[in-house]
Amino acid sequence: MKCHLCNDKGCYREGKVCQKSPELHTLPKEDLKMLKTASEIEKEFYCKMTRIEEIVEFSKRMGYRRIGIAFCIGLFNEAKIVAEILTKKGFEVFSAICKIGSVDKETLNIPKLKEGKEAVCNPIGQAKALNEKGTDLNIVIGLCVGHDILFQKYSDAPSTVFIVKDRVLSHNPAGALYTPYHLRRIMGE
């Protein structure tokens, strides 16, 4: 299956079936509710809501009460603002910073950015801390590539990404696809 090479995108409006997909009507009840809720929000608020507003609306419609935030220390202020928004909207908010547990990189033989003590990021610790709080949904804010993957792997609750870390492009990774300078460099031209 190589959908990225398709020119007609017949699956979108024509109902063309090129590849069999899992039967959506056999989804577990909670997964089907998520799918329907996301589709309802898309229909009602297409190009009208920001992502944070969509997360709030989705969470309310799903009946979520306890929201976790797994965030990078470099996006501390952004995590604080998101927590404030969610709290004002009536959610109970928990958060776990990437350096949770403060384990020195040296103990795991991980290279450091600078001399001296430097805590390793602990995405598994973040997931376990939020699991202990029984969060209904977790929001990822700026975890490094790989750390975000581990967090999502160990999170008991479903998770969504609010901010993707990209230190070069002000946390806008799609910018690399729209900027000829970056795209040429990435493509090796």
Q: Would residue 22 count as lying in a domain?
A: no
Range of the domain at 136: 27-163
Q: Would residue 46 count as lying in a domain?
A: yes
pLDDT digits (tens, 9 = 90+) for 33-71: 999 999 999 999 999 999 999 999 999 999 999 999 999
Number of domains in the chain: 1
Q: Would residue 182 count as lying in a domain?
A: no
Q: Would residue 82 count as lying in a domain?
A: yes
Rounded to two decimals, the pTM is 0.91
11: pLDDT strictly greater than 90: no
pLDDT at 189: 85
pLDDT at 141: 98
**Nearest C-alpha neighbor of 71 from the set 137, 165, 134, 156:** 165
Q: What is the mean pLDDT of the chain?
A: 94
Q: Would residue 188 count as lying in a domain?
A: no
pLDDT digits (tens, 9 = 90+) for 162-185: 999 999 999 999 999 999 999 999
